[in-house]
Amino acid sequence: MNENHFDVIVLGGGPAGLSAGIYLSRAKLKTLIINEGTVGGQIVLTHAIANYPGVENISGYMLASIMKSQALSFGCKIIANASIVNLDLTSDVKTVELKRKGTFTADAVIVATGGRSRKLNVPGEDEFKGRGISYCATCDGDFFQDQNIIVTGGGNSALEEAVALTKYASKVTIVHQFDHFQALKHYVDVAKANDKIDYIMESEIIEFSGDEKLRRVKIEHQRTHEITEMEIDGVFVLIGYVPNTEAFKGVLELNERNEIIVDKDTLATNLPGVFAAGDNVAKRYRQITTAVSDGTISALSALEYITKKREMGE
């Protein structure tokens, strides 16, 4: 038996990939999770999670650690900090070649490489990520109860989330680089009707600073280049989302935002035996719970695919 051949290879070790690994290995399929970074994905950057069902409050790192331990307990193999140098998803037997760690094959693959929030890429952003800077209003809004916060962005999501954040914050200031919003009129009208929202237009945040947490931002006006410093309790950066699908361009069917297009019922991609799950999939909502759901569905679909394939004697 080829030790490097698996029933299913899962690309990505975030909540979607780990959930898939749990379901597959518990179903007695030989399963390998390959993750390019630290297992856990984006959730390991989250200081506290309070809306995961059945768990009142837990750090993202701890939740990811529990998921990982559960997958391993069912026999799932995990390779972390891996670098993929070659990938073949079009053949009947799928192949993944890793730098210095060998070549692995599988009958099916689940692509759960996730995504990342688009960053401002200014000084202090990495330092205060999770300590005052957030990229998810739904995840972190209630941590800013009665506080003064900023939302940076001007699209539908930014304005919609700004309105939602007024349920928690005492004041929300929208900082946007243009003199007008890119959002639809409905979202603009709803935001402007909310008296807890202020606006700083034609401006961008150019620096974050503080001590153990975020305390201040520097804001530059785009026309005059005047720089002002503002004391703040938190900032939500809502300027878009980038799926981790660069390696699949020209192979998997992607939409205009480079998200993987899947069958909504099975999460199957355009390639036989290849499924996708999590934040790299074309969908509206991106939460830990939706990623876990995707991982479950893709695992069950992969199990059905392999079962039918073996029944046909292929």
Number of domain units in the chain: 2
pLDDT at 30: 98
State which of 237, 267, 290 marks the end of a domain: 237
Same structural domain for residues 262 and 230? no
Q: Which of these, 179, 180, 181, 154, lies nearest to 236 by C-alpha position?
A: 154
Catalytic residue among 7, 76, 107, 140: 140
Same structural domain for residues 287 and 225? no
Q: Which residue has the higher pLDDT, 184 or 27?
A: 27
Q: Average of pLDDT values for 119-128? A: 96
Same structural domain for residues 30 and 136? no
Q: Which residue has the higher pLDDT, 27 or 44?
A: 27
Q: Average of pLDDT values for 217-246? A: 95
139 is catalytic: yes
Same structural domain for residues 124 and 228? yes
Residue 46 has pLDDT above 80, yes or no: no
Output the average pLDDT for the chain.
Answer: 94
Query: Residue 103 sits in a domain of what CATH number?
Result: 3.50.50.60
Neighbouring C-alpha atoms within 13 Å toward the C-beta of 55: 15
76 is catalytic: no
pLDDT band at 314 (very low <50, low <70, confident <90, very high): low
Same structural domain for residues 216 and 251? no
Residue 312 has pLDDT above 90, yes or no: no
263 is catalytic: no
**Paired residues of 236 in beta bridges:** 134, 151
pLDDT band at 47 (very low <50, low <70, confident <90, very high): low
pLDDT band at 94 (very low <50, low <70, confident <90, very high): very high
Catalytic residue among 7, 76, 107, 139: 139
Same structural domain for residues 254 and 280? yes
pLDDT digits 0-9 by tens, 159-191:
989 999 999 999 999 999 999 999 989 999 999
Same structural domain for residues 112 and 247? yes
Q: Average of pLDDT values for 126-131? A: 93
Same structural domain for residues 255 and 112? yes
State which of 196, 217, 237 marks the end of a domain: 237
pLDDT at 178: 96
Q: Average of pLDDT values for 48-71? A: 90
Low-confidence winner among 10-14, 159-163, 260-264 (lowest mean pLDDT)? 159-163
pLDDT at 116: 87
The 3-class SS string of the chain reads CCCCEEEEEEECCCHHHHHHHHHHHHCCCCEEEECCCCCCHHHHHCCCECCCCCCCCECHHHHHHHHHHHHHHCCCEEECCCCEEEEECCCCCEEEEECCCEEEEEEEEEECCCEEECCCCCCCCCCCECCCEECCHHHHHHHHCCCEEEEECCCHHHHHHHHHHCCCCCEEEEECCCCCCCCCHHHHHHHHCCCCEEEECCEEEEEEEECCCEEEEEEEECCCCCEEEEECCEEEECCCEEECCHHHCCCCCECCCCCECCCCCCCECCCCCEEECCCCECCCCCCHHHHHHHHHHHHHHHHHHHHHHHHCCC
Residue 45 has pLDDT above 80, yes or no: no
State which of 184, 210, 237 marks the end of a domain: 237
Residue 1 has pLDDT above 70, yes or no: no
pLDDT band at 229 (very low <50, low <70, confident <90, very high): very high
Same structural domain for residues 145 and 188? yes
pLDDT at 173: 98
Residue ranges making up the domain that contains 250: 5-116+241-311
Q: Answer yes or no: are the C-beta atoms of 153 and 238 closer than 8 Å.
A: yes
Same structural domain for residues 126 and 228? yes
Same structural domain for residues 132 and 187? yes
Q: Average of pLDDT values for 61-75? A: 96
pLDDT at 138: 76
Residue 99 has pLDDT above 70, yes or no: yes
Same structural domain for residues 160 and 257? no
